[in-house]
Amino acid sequence: MAVIAPDPVHRYRPLLNYVGGGQASMSRLTRSMAAVIPSGCTWLPHRAVAVHADEREVELDTGERVGYGDLVVAPGLEPDLAATPGLAEAMEAGWSATAHLSSRAEDTWTAIKRMTRGRVVFTIPPEPAPCCGTALKPLFLTCDHWRREGVLEEIDVRLVTPYSSLLGLGFADRQVEPHLQRFGITVHHDATVGALDHQARTVTLSTPDGEQVLDGVDQAFVVPHYRPPDWLAPLASDDTGGLVDIDPGTLAHHSLPRVWSLGDVAHVRTRPSGGALRSQVEVLADNIRRGRTGESLRHYDGYTIIPITVDRRRLLLAEFDRTGTPQPTTSLIDLTVPRRLLWAFDRYVEPVVYFRALLKGRV
């Protein structure tokens, strides 16, 4: 088994939101790639640039080709700052940042600590995006920090969401919306950030009714748009938006034999998340074996999860399938009710489980 991964470090990305909210450091979520590659696997520290399905080979950025029996495509989505005019310039100037980028997560907390008044914009990114609902974490961690510092009433907090309701999930929206009201957050529905103007310090929103300009913006915590890597285009189709064209149940490519995909770049028709990926891995690993032995393939039901902090010590879990129907993993406790225990598990226990057990295939 070979793992093609170009980065020298591996990051537990869910903790980035806690870095942006001042509850974690980058060192807590970062390990060397060599340390997390499973025993018995060969690590190829290069970037994939093409898949030659007819020859069953993956081309690397060195020009070398690597043959495969089965290929699992999971490179993740790439941030596309250029899709939002002015965003890169605003980040470079320091009045925009986001916890979703490892290079800007610490800047986010620096900017939050500095603010005592003014107008602030947070965003939930349009799909496809890696676990877009977790963009609410920095929002609530920040507002609770400002409340504790006694400056929240001096700050005009705006949230931009692409959905007609908060997340487009009724059962989750009902739990979260009271906390938006508690912190006095103004929500712009059915909207995305169309542009930022560095000189005028404005954020232009794109809505079904046209453009809306927010002026006098002191800080814009804008999650960028995301897109699949260009080299995946031959694995996509006209109706997948650039995502890998797989059967969303079996995770097998529709037309290329022994090619599989999962995670953010796979057209699984559910919202990406770490919890979704964990369920997909179980199904895919078994299906690779079943595909080789001729057995019928298992099906992934679209389970996914969004963990949402509502302040600096409480968190809820929204679990659902690809239809948006709640799919709780336990009936013993209502996990959609914000709880301190859930926050502690998400912040402190889950990273340990990830590095010590999940990456080693033990859970």
Choose among 170, 99, 134: nearest CA to 317.
Answer: 134
The model's pTM is: 0.95
Fold identical between 2-78+228-298+356-360 and 79-226?
yes
Mean pLDDT of the chain: 96
Across residues 217-241, what is the average pLDDT? 96
Query: Would you state the pLDDT for residue 360?
Result: 83
Topology (CATH level 3) of domain 79-226: FAD/NAD(P)-binding domain (3.50.50)
pLDDT confidence of 280, banded at 50, 70, 90? very high
3-state secondary structure of 344: helix
What pLDDT, in 10s, does the model give residues 146-186?
A: 999 999 999 999 999 999 999 999 999 999 999 999 999 99
Nearest to 256 by CA among 70, 61, 60, 66: 70
Tens of pLDDT, residue by residue over 99-158, are 999 999 999 999 999 999 999 999 999 999 997 899 999 999 999 999 999 999 999 999
Does position 363 have pLDDT exceeding 80, yes or no?
no
Distance, in Å, from the CA atom of 80 to the CA atom of 357, rounded to the nearest integer, reads 32
The per-residue pLDDT for range 181-226, each reduced to its tens digit, is: 999 999 999 999 999 999 999 999 999 999 999 999 999 999 999 9
Torsion of CA 283, 286, 289, 290, to 10 degrees: -80
Q: Please give the pLDDT value at position 346.
A: 97
- Cβ 244 vs Cβ 128: under 8 Å: no
- What are the φ/ψ torsions at residue 65 (nearest 5 degrees)? -115, 140
Contact predicate 257/55, CB 8 Å: no
Instruction: Encode 5-36 in three state secondary structure.
Output: CCCCEEECHHHHHHHHCCCCCHHHHEEEHHHH
Phi-psi region of 76 (alpha: psi -120 to 50; beta: other; left: phi over 0): left
CA distance 43 to 66: 12
| Residue 362: per-residue pLDDT | 80
Whole-number Å distance between alpha carbons of 312 and 339:
11
Contacting residues for 93 by C-beta, under 8 A, at least 6 apart: 198
Tell me what the mean pLDDT of segment 20-42 comes to.
95
Distances 328 to 176, 250, 333 between C-alpha atoms, Å: 17, 22, 9
Q: At 308, is the secondary structure helix, strand, or coil?
A: strand
Structure confidence at residue 39 (pLDDT): 87
The string of pLDDT tens digits covering residues 304-318 is 999 999 999 999 999
Tell me: pLDDT of 231 over 80: yes
Residue 100 backbone class (left: φ over 0; alpha: ψ -120 to 50; beta: rest) = alpha
278-306 burial by CB neighbour count: b if 16+ within 10 A, else e? ebbbebbeebbeebeeeeebeebebbbbb
Fold of 2-78+228-298+356-360: FAD/NAD(P)-binding domain (3.50.50)
Residue 183 tokens, joined: 């912190």
Q: Locate the domains of the chain by residue range.
A: 2-78+228-298+356-360, 79-226
pLDDT of 361 over the 90 cut: no
What pLDDT was estimated at residue 296?
97
Decide if 347 contacts 137 (C-beta within 8 A): no
